[in-house]
A and B are shown apart, each in its own frame.
Chain A
Amino acid sequence: MSIIRTEQLSRRYGRRVGVDAINLEIGAGEIFGFLGPNGAGKTTTIRLLLGFLQPDAGRASIFGLDCWRQSALVKRDLGYLPGDLRLYPWMTARMALRIFGKIRGVDLSGSGGELAERFRLEMGVRVQKMSRGMRQKLGIILAMAHKPRLLVLDEPTSGLDPLMQKELARSIRELAAAGHTVFFSSHTLSEVESLCDRVAIVREGRIIADERLETLRSRARRTVELVFVDEEAAERADLPSYLQLVRRDGCRCQGELDGPTPPLVHWADDQPLADISIGPPDLGSMFHKFYQLPSEPS
């Protein structure tokens, strides 16, 4: 059964498009990356999933329950970290766990305390005295303390130092390994790339790609540098169609490989080469292309 399912989900803000005909299906145990530039519709999608906004068209369901009409039921087994986290200024982590525990009907002090230790958060400091990073940690703890079946994180690493970002990634992987689902929204490719199994790219309110990261990697171009034995050999070289020449500098040729590496290695074996280096799949330039508006030059 799908954990999250949306069908033609649409929402407008007056004349401006929030999201337009979003179709998603996310299964149990997936770490799903939701990637897009600022204002692309990531947060609007999350707000629709959490029942904050009513869709203009289409529908969204979580655990088979309607996100708008059965929102409170949905959130029993859901943890949410908002993108622009604002917590009650008088709250301490201890108070927050007590109040949230009472609302959820479970004792969060044990699991919350463990998470606080893991994220190195002091339990007795009021939110108004916390740094941005500390507030973010508290938000993460409150979202994860009840071990939800679905964790929705909107830009979760903002304000976290690299050490804590690593800790968060580790916690997310542990949750996913235990069969929990994570919806991870971000505009940072490296985060999504290192963590997610699948990624959807949203631009101008529409999903323009939704694939497994492995598939995207296999489609991404690689940078290839060929070092020929001399300049003349470099000039005479007849490059295969799947390797596009970007630059030639003396005996060095730099190109972009569009396709798998074995044919290139096979081709290189017959060439007068002194050296060859093949870079990793360049997801960055691929995403950059996805992000670009059709009217923008590449």
Chain B
Amino acid sequence: MMRGLLLKTWYEVWLMTLLFGCALLGVNALLTYVIPHFQEGIIEIIERIPFVQPMLTAMLGTELGDEISARTLQAFLWVHPTVLALLWAHAIVFCTRMPAGEIDRGTIDVLLGLPVSRRAAYYGEAIAWLAAGLVILLMGFTGHCLTSSFIPDEERPEFSRALMVLANLYCVYVAVGGIATLVSSLSSHRGGAMAIAFAIVLASFLLNFVAQFWEPAEQVAFLSVMDYYRPAQNLQSGDFPAADVTVLLSVGAAALLLGGEVVARRSICTV
């Protein structure tokens, strides 16, 4: 049964996932190559415009300090808005397919007319989403590896540390997707579900950003998923962010499980 559900999802998402993966591969390859070449210019901008430093601190999840190393700059790759936007967009688009998307286009009648429990249909979709997320992130990482060979050794981040950041980013992806899935489970309209999920993610991002300047926001910054993603710090220290990963995975899992219960218990009506 699950093979049939996964096959159906595969037919629907392979092209989208491939396109997102290729985009991430291209962006990562480009950024990996470009960042060291513009290192001096970037540092000059950071020092000249005072507003930029807290902004980057918010994105990188660590104080930049006086010395900005080439390896710290490599962390820009993992927090670049294009990279984050691609990942979040993929998570939100994918995770609002079931049930909101199926109800919205009316195909849920056919799907649930089959001998599948709602939980099976929901978790089948979740398995496909988690796998697709891994694929696009690995494609992005491949892009990074392809061009990192052109960077001088002393500026190139260690492979193991880059993998650590990748794992942390995957957990951000899981948390964002989990929230989008929960929103989708409560909704019958995909457009609305996507808008709400996007608003939550954006609010989370802005909260993390505002917390750099505004103390009241700092008090609640722990509510932002970005608070648990500090690539620069991880690249510098080489420590695995176990606590951050645990929090993000817990958020993602809790949202996913809660969404599963909502889907299993709610009435579904396409008219």
In the complex the two chains form, what is the Cα distance from A245 to B270 in whole Å? 49
A229 at the interface (CB under 8 A from B): no
| List of B residues within 8 angstroms of A73 by Cβ | 115
Contact check, A103 vs B5: say whether CB atoms are below 8 A apart: yes
Task: Sort chain B's interface into a size bin.
Answer: 20 to 34
Q: Are B115 and A80 in contact (CB under 8 A)?
A: no
Closest to A72 in B: B117
Given A54-B267, A99-B4, A99-B8, also A75-B114 (CB < 8 A): yes
- Which residues of A lie under 8 Å from residue B112 when comparing CB positions? 50-52, 71
Q: How far is the CB of B113 from chain A (nearest CB, A)?
A: 4
- B253 CB to closest chain A CB, in angstroms? 24
Give which listed residue, B11, B107, B109, contacts A52 with CB less than 8 A.
B109
CB <8 Å contact, B1 and A103: yes
Would you give the 0/1 interface string for B1-39, flagging 1 where the beta carbon is closer than 8 Å to chain A? 101110110011000000000000000000000000000
The residue that B268 contacts in the complex, of A52, A72, A75, A103, with Cβ under 8 A, is A52
Interchain CB contact (< 8 A) of A95 among B1, B11, B113, B269: B11
User: In the complex, are the beta carbons of B115 and A76 less than 8 A apart?
Assistant: yes
Cα–Cα, bound, A123→B134 (Å):
35
The closest CB in chain B to the CB of A102 belongs to B4
Given contacts A50-B112, A82-B113, contact A88 B4 (CB under 8 A): no
The smallest beta-carbon distance between A120 and chain B, in angstroms, is 22
- Judge if B120 is at the interface, Cβ distance under 8 Å: yes
> Told that A78-B113, A82-B110, A100-B114 touch, could you supply 14 new A-B pairs with CB distance under 8 A?
A13-B269, A43-B271, A50-B112, A52-B112, A54-B267, A71-B112, A82-B109, A86-B107, A86-B109, A91-B11, A101-B4, A103-B1, A105-B1, A142-B110
Cβ-based interface call for B106 (8 A): yes
Number of residue pairs spanning A and B whose beta carbons lie under 8 angstroms apart: 89
Pairwise interchain contact A99-B7, C-beta atoms closer than 8 A: yes
Give residues in B with beta carbon < 8 Å to A: 1, 3-5, 7-8, 11-12, 105-110, 112-118, 120, 265, 267-271
Residues of B with C-beta under 8 A to A80: 109, 113
Complex CA distance for A78 and B271, rounded to whole angstroms: 22
Closest to A80 in B: B113
Chain A positions within 8 Å of B113 at CB level: 50, 75, 78-80, 82, 143
Q: Which residues of B contact A75 (CB under 8 A)?
A: 113-116
Please measure, in the bound complex, the distance between the C-alpha atom of A142 and the C-alpha atom of B4, giving whole angstroms.
14
Can you list, as one digit per residue, whether each of A130-143 has a CB less than 8 Å from chain B (1) or not (0)?
Answer: 00000000010011
Known interface pairs A86-B109, A88-B8, A99-B4; A104-B114 also in contact (CB < 8 Å): yes
Q: Does A274 contact B (CB under 8 A)?
A: no
Q: How far is the CA of A266 from the CA of B27 in the complex (A)?
A: 94
Tell me the complex Cα distance, A143–B110, Å.
Answer: 9
- Say which residue of B4, B11, B107, B120 sits within 8 Å of A100 (CB atoms): B4
Smallest Cβ-Cβ distance to A70: which chain B residue: B117
Nearest-Cβ distance from residue A205 to partner chain B, whole angstroms: 15
Nearest Cβ distance between residue B128 and chain A, in whole angstroms? Answer: 14
* Complex Cα–Cα for A101 and B114 (A): 10
Q: Is A209 an interface residue (CB 8 A)?
A: no
